[in-house]
Chain A
Amino acid sequence: MSLRYHDPRSLSPGAVRLPWDRHRVTLLVTSVVLLATVPLAAWSIGFTPFAVLDGLGDIRNLIGRMLPISWTNLPRLLVLLWETFLIAVAGTTLAVALSVPIAFCAARNTTPSRWLYGPARGIIAVTRAIPDLVFAIILVRALGLGALAGALALALNSIGMLGKLYADAIEDIDPAPVDAMRSSGAGQLQTISTAVFPQTLPTVVGVGLYRLDINVRTSPVLGLVGAGGIGMELQNTLRQLRYDRGLAIVVLIFVLIVVVERVSHAVRSSVIGGQDQREGRLAELVRSLEGRRADRRGHRLVMPWTPTRAGQGMAMVTLGALLVASFRQLDITLTDLVAAVPRTLAMMRSMFPPDFVTGIDASLSGLFETLMIAIVATFCGVLLSIPLALLGARTTAYNRLTAALARYGVVGVRGIPELILAIVFVAAVGLGPLAGALALSVGTIGLSAKLMMDALEEVPTAPLQAVASTGASHGQVVAGAVVPQVVPSFVGTVLYQLDVNLRGSVILGIVGAGGIGFLLQNSVRQLQYDRTAAMLIMIFLVVYGIERLSTWLRGRLAVAR
């Protein structure tokens, strides 16, 4: 079709209207369904504007009772905090060690056989869908109170995410070296270790450290169900209504989380970036040592100690030391780990057959409430995140002050685990789904705003400059050149957040913030494991269903672009 530009009137109205393609239809339908669901969901859990406003007043009261902060018993708290950190280290390390072989079985290009591929994918899907705190509840029952249950719970839950990301990374590698190894007569295991593993190593380390971050957030929470660490102490102080001491614990947890996040970020970027360009004292020292060694040997057949390698070595030693420390301090031995397997299995055996009959009404309505909390919280949280992300991202920031405020706000929220928020909100507005929805909404900001900021900063800047050079205002540049580029990634973030919130909302119930979590914990307390299993299966189905739905939606929205 050729347009006659000389006379715009000759164009039919259809020619200047955006056609309804698959992409736009999907987007419209999704938006309509979502906008219709949210008010219903909000109403069903009593999340009304009035209730929220009332809640804000309650929170102000609570904050009044938290101040002034009380630092009694600080040394003991520090020991507990250290223990909490070590639980996260032990759990993450166990998870990485278990996830790597599982991922090699779950990647299409390295799996030794079809018979291993399916089960490996199954393990990943199941461990991902069951929230960490649920693992903790079960393991505390099976193994008794203490750090072992906590570390194992973290490990099991982490396998889901690590295994999946590792398997994806393995499937994404450059296949050329694999062909080259196979062509030279290398065996399967040799090919994997020489051609595949080095390519996935940055992911193994990077994602592992990222998971450590996440586990440091979860680990304080595990204490709430008796799995060791500082969480138990928090629970106690709140029960005694000593909110001033509680605040001190929350502050400590916050500091731990932020410090670990900073350190892991620094390690990730320096170790994985891996180019030998950092100069300085250390580099010089290393090089001078190196020079001497090379002279003595003449032909060098040993890997030289470059600054990068020295850094990596130091990181390895530190990690090793931490690992030893964690197993020592937490009093976990290999025998314990081995003995944990049959005891957990025995406990799991008593879960079968699952009892779907007893109290099914309560379970279903609990599950429904959980889902509603997740939907409401995702919507509200994302709504709050978008402006924060736009203000904080370097590409769209209005000015430096607002950018810094937005960034610190997000970091601050990220530093407080959702469950701790939930405890605070329960203390303020009372038991029920309202507390859960509020806590999860705030928690959403921490993740969503962060992901959105990252997306905004990764936007190619050429279109921005192009639009700005036509004389457009700041707002016009953001609307015309930035937003269109990030829509797919924002949609992805929302769907991912819904996924995360669904899991989060299950565990909120454990502190009385509504949903199925409360029933779940009760069933374990009353030793009705068959009911626990039934609820876990229902949770798994819903989580899995939502995940499939969001994958499908993301695919549909991405293809048409």
Chain B
Amino acid sequence: MSEPAASPTTIPAPRGEPIVRARALSRRYGSTVALDEVDLDIHARELCVIFGLSGSGKSTFLRHCNGLQTPSSGSLQVFGIDPATATRRELRGLRQRVGFVFQHFGLVGRLTALGNVLSGGLGRLRGPRYDVSSYPQSMRREALQQLDRVGLADRAFQRADTLSGGQQQRVAIARTLFQRAELVLADEPVASLDPETSEQVMGMLLSICAEDGLTVLCSLHQVDLALGWADRMVGLRDGRVVLDQPARALTSQQAMRVYQRSQHEPDEQSAGWAAVETDAASSPRPRMGDVASEHA
């Protein structure tokens, strides 16, 4: 696999029409406010990074965008559809156009890498499927091509749980590509990876999405990594948008203030949230070691 360039994007992206449109979007869990009156537009072909402390509402916002969660109040439109009020069929249709890349990959460990990529195409199919053999030949070919784009065609028939962390996330990216998503939501896609692999995976995600003209909304902790390629940076703190600027106009220090200000006024509740989330993030579920075997 050729090392894809991690950094700078060539695109002064032409701003398209808004794809995601949030108005006064709020979400509360009991007394905790995860999202607080968020107004945000994401435009077509934009590469937008959301950043902020753990518990600031990044994941919650992303999970609202494809209806995995529903708002307490306010409105949200994705491709002109409100995921919270959409019918089951509309929601399925919407989700086919919205890809989601998870921090913990969300691969089915017992299935092969190719089988996982193919599962991205379930929305186009009818009826239940299991592993590779249950998909039509034409889909297998296309899925293998996507797997090749992330440099893992030679691992197609290896069980997903025997791949390294970086490889697993690349399989997950191939799955999203195979889904033919137009909007890619990425929830801290590299938080479980080491710095070098992070850069590599992030660069791969970016360059492929730019190549295909996809819109990307990505939550990320590594501000420097984000500044390297994002068009736009949105900072969240305690569920509120506290920064929204083009990335090129932003320095690392300015961006870091989104984190720092919160540290100056430590508020017990958000500190508690942060602790919980960090624990979850450092759980050892994904395998980091490269266990590439000689097989296949």
A181 at the interface (CB under 8 A from B): yes
Q: A184-B96, A195-B119 are in contact. Are A306 and B295 (CB under 8 A)?
A: yes
Query: Which residues of A253-312 have CB atoms within 8 Å of chain B's CB atoms?
Result: 274-276, 299-304, 306
Q: Report if B287 contacts A (CB, 8 A).
A: no
In the complex, the answer to whether B122 meets A183 with C-beta atoms within 8 Å is no
Contact A192 B122 (CB under 8 A): no
Q: Please pick, from A176, A194, A299, A306, the residue contacting B111 in the complex, using a CB distance under 8 A.
A: A194
* Bound-complex Cα distance A186 to B296 (A): 29
> Chain B residue with minimal CB distance to A180?
B106
Tell me the complex Cα distance, A199–B99, Å: 23
CB distance from B78 to the nearest CB of A (A): 12
| CA A176 to CA B160, docked complex, whole Å | 14
- CB of B132 within 8 A of CB of A184, answer no
Q: Which of B63-118 contact A (CB under 8 A)?
A: 66, 68, 92-96, 98-100, 102, 104-112
Minimum CB–CB distance for B289 against chain A, Å: 15
CB-CB under 8 A from B17, the residues of chain A are none
CB distance from B93 to the nearest CB of A (A): 7
Which listed residue (B92, B99, B128, B133) contacts A302, Cβ 8 A? B133
Task: Flag if B295 contacts A198 (CB, 8 Å).
Answer: no
Interface status of A14 (Cβ within 8 A of chain B)? no
Number of interface residues of B (CB under 8 A): 49
A323 to B280, CA, bound (A): 46
A304 and B127 within 8 A (CB): no
The answer to whether A187 has its CB under 8 Å from any CB of chain B is yes
B107 engages A303 (CB within 8 Å): no
Inter-chain contact A182/B68, CB cutoff 8 Å = yes
- The answer, yes or no, to whether B248 is at the interface (CB within 8 Å) is no
- Verify A176–B140 contact, CB threshold 8 A: no
Are A183 and B285 in contact, CB atoms less than 8 angstroms apart?
A: no
Whether, in the assembled complex, A185 has its beta carbon less than 8 Å from a beta carbon of chain B, the answer is yes
CB atoms of A276 and B293 under 8 A apart: yes
CA–CA, A553 and B175, complex, Å: 47
Any B CB within 8 A of the CB of A174: yes
Q: Which residues of B contact A181 (CB under 8 A)?
A: 119, 122
Chain A residues, Cβ within 8 Å of B93: 185
The CA-CA distance from A183 to B187 in the complex, in Å, is 12
Chain A contacts of B131 at CB under 8 A? Answer: 198, 303
Q: Chain B residues near A189 (CB, 8 Å)?
A: 127-128
Q: Is the CB of A303 within 8 A of B132?
A: yes
Q: Is the CB of B68 within 8 A of A179?
A: yes
CA gap between A195 and B108 in the complex, in Å = 6
The answer to whether the Cβ of B1 comes within 8 Å of any Cβ in the partner chain is: no
Residues of B within 8 A of A180 (CB): 100, 102, 106-107, 119, 172, 175
A551: CB under 8 A from chain B? no
B120/A276 in contact, CB under 8 A: no
Tell which of A183, A190, A197, A304 touches B296, judged by Cβ atoms closer than 8 Å: A304
- Asked whether A177 is an interface residue with its Cβ less than 8 Å from the other chain, the reply is yes
- A513 → chain B closest CB, angstroms: 46
What distance in Å separates the Cβ of B168 from its nearest Cβ neighbour in chain A?
A: 11
Chain B CB within 8 A of A193 CB: yes
CB of A72 to closest CB in B, whole Å: 51
CB-defined contacts of B102 to chain A, threshold 8 Å: 176, 179-180
Q: Give the interface centre of B100, B105, B106, B109 by most chain A CB atoms within 10 Å.
A: B106
> Known contacts being A198-B111, A303-B132, A306-B295, is A186 close to B123, with CB within 8 Å?
yes
CB contacts (< 8 Å) of A274 on chain B: these are: 110, 159
Chain A proximity of B102: nearest CB distance (Å): 6
The residues of B that contact A186 with a CB separation of less than 8 Å are 92, 119, 122-123
The distance in angstroms between the C-alpha atoms of A198 and B111, with both chains bound, is 7
Does the CB pair B122–A303 fall under 8 Å?
no
Residues of B within 8 A of A300 (CB): 156-157
Contacts of B99 in A (CB 8 A): 183-184
Chain B 170-203 residues near chain A, CB threshold 8 A: 172, 175-176, 179, 181
CB–CB A192/B111 < 8 A: no
Report the minimal beta-carbon distance from A172 to chain B, rounded to whole angstroms.
Answer: 13
Please indicate the chain A residues that have their CB under 8 angstroms from the CB of B110 in the complex.
198-199, 201-202, 274
Q: In the bound complex, do residue A190 and residue B106 qualify as a contact, i.e. CB atoms below 8 Å apart? A: no
Given contacts A195-B119, A301-B141, A303-B157, contact A184 B133 (CB under 8 A): no
* Chain B residues within an 8 Å CB radius of A304: 157, 296
Docked Cα-Cα span, A213 to B132, in Å, equals 32
Q: How far is the CA of A181 from the CA of B106 in the complex (A)?
A: 8
CB pair B144–A190 under 8 Å, yes or no, is: no
Given known pairs A185-B92, A195-B119, A198-B111, the reply for A303 and B133 (CB within 8 Å) is yes
Q: Do A197 and B130 touch (CB < 8 A)?
A: yes
Q: Which 4 A-B pairs have the closest CB atoms?
A: A185-B123, A180-B106, A193-B128, A185-B96
